[in-house]
């Protein structure tokens, strides 16, 4: 059971290592991209490429769905970013259990957006855990975990790609240890739990009253999605890369400061943020030096 690109390496790893993947369950085809063309999920596309049967139930709570997966008499259900809460009667179907691959070091960052929030929160490391699913949200017993350092220039996109591969490796190792009878589930310490709530498109709006350091992490954490953005009057500007600089300002947060002609320095709540890569309302992602050749943003302008 999986939907986005994050789940594809896990599916392919199962197939390539000789596991009998009887069925893939993914979310219904949805409109995607600027053209809003109805498109299959990455997991569906991968399953079709591998010749594996796919179903896309509108609901996982129907008796029909439960009966359908029961008919396969599965040993395991593997859940990787499926995107729907599974009821207890679905979790109970497989003989050996339902395993989830989650992109954090549980109990840290339970929830839908652990990769983005790990960067936004300034974590130095994150990782992937396999977990025995229960009725709670990422609350089940931990099976295996593998840490992954967060690099200074990581975006949610670059970290996602490494963790997706690592998740497939953790999944294979979990199944191997289960077969060897060397898997020892460990209950989570719920008192240490933190949360990574789902991000929406509107959550990319930059709040200039935050510190320059936290804004730099925020921009990396929401790249490529939902994407960091701000406004100059009515014009939307998308920010891809930035760096805090050793300077202070008495100007209100969001104020464009005087600097070199090829710089865009903005006052933050604490410190100054230099914008390095940007995209206007129309056009391509550009280095700030090139962008400013065709877009005048004079000192004193206010972003917000």
Q: Are strands 24-25 and 37-39 parallel, antiparallel or unpaired?
A: unpaired
For residue range 41-71, what is the model confidence (pLDDT) as tens digits?
Answer: 999 999 999 999 999 999 999 999 999 999 9
Q: What is the pLDDT of residue 198?
A: 95
Q: Is residue 299 part of a domain?
A: no
Minimum mean pLDDT among 28-42, 77-91, 199-213: which range? 28-42
Q: Is residue 304 part of a domain?
A: no
Q: What percent of the chain has pLDDT over 70?
A: 100
Going from the C-alpha of 176 to that of each of 10, 40, 95, 212, the distances in angstroms are 14, 31, 16, 46
Number of domains in the chain: 2
Q: Is residue 140 part of a domain?
A: yes
**pLDDT of 35 over the 90 cut:** no
Q: What average pLDDT does range 122-142 have in this prediction?
A: 97
**Residues forming beta bridges with residue 145, ordered by sequence position:** 129
Query: Would you say 65 and 1 are in contact if contact means Cβ atoms under 8 Å apart?
Result: no
Q: What is the pLDDT of residue 140?
A: 97
Going from the C-alpha of 218 to that of each of 103, 159, 304, the distances in angstroms are 18, 14, 15
Q: Is 163 helix (H, G, I), strand (E, B) or coil?
A: helix
Q: Please state, in angstroms and rounded to a whole number, the distance separating the CA atoms of residues 263 and 95.
A: 61
**pLDDT of 31 over the 90 cut:** no
Q: Is residue 139 part of a domain?
A: yes
Distance of CA 57 to the CA centre of its chain: 23
Q: Do residues 174 and 246 both lie within one domain?
A: no
Q: Which domain holds residue 260?
A: 201-294
Q: Is residue 15 part of a domain?
A: yes
Q: Are strands 125-132 and 97-102 parallel, antiparallel or unpaired?
A: antiparallel
Q: Do residues 25 and 140 both lie within one domain?
A: yes
For residue range 190-243, what is the model confidence (pLDDT) as tens digits?
Answer: 999 999 999 999 999 999 999 999 999 999 999 999 999 999 999 999 999 999
For helices 8-16 and 156-180, what crossing angle results, to 10°? 40
Q: What is the pLDDT of residue 85?
A: 93
Q: Do residues 139 and 256 both lie within one domain?
A: no
Q: Do residues 177 and 226 both lie within one domain?
A: no
Q: Is 223 helix (H, G, I), strand (E, B) or coil?
A: coil
Where are the alpha helices (H) located in 17-124, listed in sequence order? 42-50, 63-70, 88-91, 114-120
What is the pLDDT confidence band of residue 33, given thresholds at 50, 70 and 90?
confident
Q: What is the pLDDT of residue 283?
A: 85
Q: Is residue 302 part of a domain?
A: no
Could you tell me the CATH number of the domain that includes residue 75? 3.40.50.170
Q: Do residues 231 and 115 both lie within one domain?
A: no
Q: Do residues 112 and 251 both lie within one domain?
A: no
Opening angle at CA 25, ends 20 and 31, nearest 5:
140
Q: Is residue 303 part of a domain?
A: no
Q: What is the pLDDT of residue 52?
A: 98
Q: Do residues 76 and 219 both lie within one domain?
A: no
Q: Do residues 47 and 181 both lie within one domain?
A: yes
Q: What is the pLDDT of residue 280?
A: 94
Q: Is residue 301 part of a domain?
A: no
DSSP 18: T
For residue range 254-281, what is the model confidence (pLDDT) as tens digits?
Answer: 999 998 889 999 999 999 999 999 999 8
Q: What average pLDDT does range 130-151 have in this prediction?
A: 97
**pLDDT of 246 over the 90 cut:** no
Q: Do residues 143 and 238 both lie within one domain?
A: no
Q: Do residues 230 and 171 both lie within one domain?
A: no
State the chain's mean pLDDT as an integer.
96
Opening angle at CA 32, ends 119 and 204, nearest 5:
30
Which one of 192, 217, 243 terminates a domain?
A: 192
Q: Do residues 134 and 217 both lie within one domain?
A: no
Minimum mean pLDDT among 26-40, 111-125, 158-172, 176-190: which range? 26-40
Which one of 136, 166, 192 terminates a domain?
A: 192
Q: What average pLDDT does range 153-175 have in this prediction?
A: 98
Could you tell me the CATH number of the domain that includes residue 244? 3.10.25.10
For residue range 211-223, what is the model confidence (pLDDT) as tens digits?
Answer: 999 999 999 999 9
Q: Do residues 129 and 264 both lie within one domain?
A: no
């Amino acid at each position: 059971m999986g939907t986005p690109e994050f789940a594809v390496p896990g599916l392919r790893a199962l197939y390539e290592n000789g596991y009998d993947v009887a069925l893939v369950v993914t979310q219904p085809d949805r409109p995607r991209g600027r053209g809003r063309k109805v498109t299959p999920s990455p997991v569906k596309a991968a399953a079709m490429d591998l010749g594996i049967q796919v179903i896309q139930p509108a609901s996982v709570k129907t008796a029909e769905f439960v009966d359908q997966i029961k008919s396969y008499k599965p040993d395991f259900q593997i859940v990787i970013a499926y995107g729907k809460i599974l009821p207890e009667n679905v979790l109970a179907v497989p003989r050996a259990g339902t395993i989830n691959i989650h992109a954090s070091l549980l109990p840290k960052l339970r929830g839908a957006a652990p990769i983005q929030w790990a960067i936004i929160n300034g974590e130095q490391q994150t990782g992937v855990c396999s977990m025995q699913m229960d009725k709670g949200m990422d609350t089940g017993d931990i099976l295996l975990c593998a840490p992954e350092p967060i690099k200074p220039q990581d975006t949610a996109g670059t970290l996602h790609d490494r963790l997706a591969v690592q998740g497939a490796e953790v999944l294979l190792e979990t199944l191997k240890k289960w077969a060897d009878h060397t898997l020892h589930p460990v209950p989570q310490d719920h008192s240490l739990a933190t949360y990574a709530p789902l991000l929406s498109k509107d959550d990319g709006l930059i709040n200039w009253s935050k510190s320059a350091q936290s804004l730099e992490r925020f921009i990396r954490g929401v790249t490529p999605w939902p994407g960091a953005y701000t406004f100059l009057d009515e014009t939307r500007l998308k920010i891809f890369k930035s760096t805090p600089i050793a300077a202070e300002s008495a100007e209100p947060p969001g104020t464009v400061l005087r600097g070199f002609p090829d710089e865009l320095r903005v006052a933050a709540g604490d410190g100054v943020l230099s914008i390095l890569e940007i995209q206007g309302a129309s056009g391509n992602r550009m280095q700030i030096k090139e962008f400013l050749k065709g877009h005048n943003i004079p000192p004193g302008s206010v972003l917000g």
